[in-house]
């Protein structure tokens, strides 16, 4: 049964992202998948903004492209068939100092190959890189899952890294359901202050 009061992680993620992103902003979807978050971001930034999206699977990018096209938002997005760990070399210089938000939704592609998952190594490189590109009050959101192979280790690695960020420069908030019996998930929100 669904809670009537406590927001699901996805709803809370969107609430926080809506507070950080304005029309005209530049943002990143670090894990495009089927493009739900990419479209959400594209609608938030509007026609004057831009979304850069990364995914290593062509299947994911094809699904996302179709979704964005159907919604009339394809022109305000750049879909990159590349790992998010390459953000430092693939994003244009202007984006590298002005990001309002980068969203990470870790794990495997829903409906795809469950063996092709995000990895702690690549995720940490991408998090460090994209964090350095945030404008003041820009945010990273990281939705971690522990139910799949490697998910728990990745969640630990992300949390350990986030714990080490200085309070003077970044705020890190964590949200999870501490009594969820299976397929644990957590949201980290990191704001550059
Ligand atoms: C949980 S899914 C994302 C779901 C997506 N946000 C949506 O709305 O459908 C995770 C995605 O991360 C992708 N991925 C795995 N390693 C990656 C990497 N190094 N860089 C970018 N994407 C990666 C997978 O191919 C998969 O599509």
Q: Per-residue pLDDT tens for 20-37?
A: 999 999 999 999 999 999
**50: helix, strand or coil:** strand
| Per-residue pLDDT tens over the stretch 119-173 | 999 999 999 999 999 999 999 999 999 999 999 999 999 999 999 999 999 999 9
Q: How far is the CA of 108 from the centre of ligand 1 (A)?
A: 6
What pairing do the DSSP bridges indicate for beta strands 134-145 and 170-176?
unpaired
Q: How far is the CA of 61 from the centre of ligand 1 (A)?
A: 10
Atom of ligand 1 nearest to the CA of 57: 25
Q: Read out DSSP for 58-126?
A: HHHHHHHHHHHHHTT-GGGEEEEEB-GGGHHHHS-TTGGGTEEEEEEE-SB-TTS-TT-B--HHHHHHH
Q: How far is the CA of 143 from the centre of ligand 1 (A)?
A: 11
Strand partners, 4: none
Is the predicted pLDDT of residue 2 greater than 90, yes or no?
no
* Smallest CA separation from ligand 1 atom 8, residue: 36
Is the predicted pLDDT of residue 1 greater than 90, yes or no?
no
Q: Which residues contact 147 (CB under 8 A, 6 or more apart)?
A: 182, 183, 184, 185
User: What is the distance between the alpha carbons of residues 73 and 76, in angstroms, rounded to a whole number?
Assistant: 6
Q: Which homologous superfamily does the CATH classification assign to the domain defined by 9-192? A: Vaccinia Virus protein VP39 (3.40.50.150)
DSSP-derived letter for residue 135 is E
Q: Read out DSSP for 17-33?
A: HHHH--TT-EEEES--T
């Amino acid at each position: 049964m669904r809670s009537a009061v406590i927001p699901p992680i996805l709803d809370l993620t969107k609430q926080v992202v809506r507070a950080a992103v304005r029309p005209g902003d530049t943002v990143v979807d670090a894990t495009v998948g089927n493009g739900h978050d990419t479209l959400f971001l594209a609608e938030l930034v509007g026609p004057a903004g831009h979304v850069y999206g990364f995914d290593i699977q062509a299947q994911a990018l094809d699904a996302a492209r179709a979704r964005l096209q159907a919604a009339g938002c394809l022109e305000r997005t750049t879909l990159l068939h590349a790992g998010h760990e390459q953000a430092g070399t693939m994003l244009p210089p202007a984006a590298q100092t002005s990001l309002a938000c980068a969203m990470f939704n870790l794990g495997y592609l829903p409906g795809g190959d469950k063996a092709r998952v995000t990895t702690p190594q690549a995720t940490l490189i991408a998090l460090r890189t994209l964090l350095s590109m945030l404008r003041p009050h820009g945010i990273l959101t990281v939705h971690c899952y522990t139910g799949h192979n490697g998910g728990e280790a990745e969640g630990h690695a992300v949390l350990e890294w986030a714990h080490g960020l200085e309070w003077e420069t970044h705020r890190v908030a964590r949200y999870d359901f501490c009594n969820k019996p299976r397929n644990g998930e957590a949201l980290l929100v990191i704001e550059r202050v």
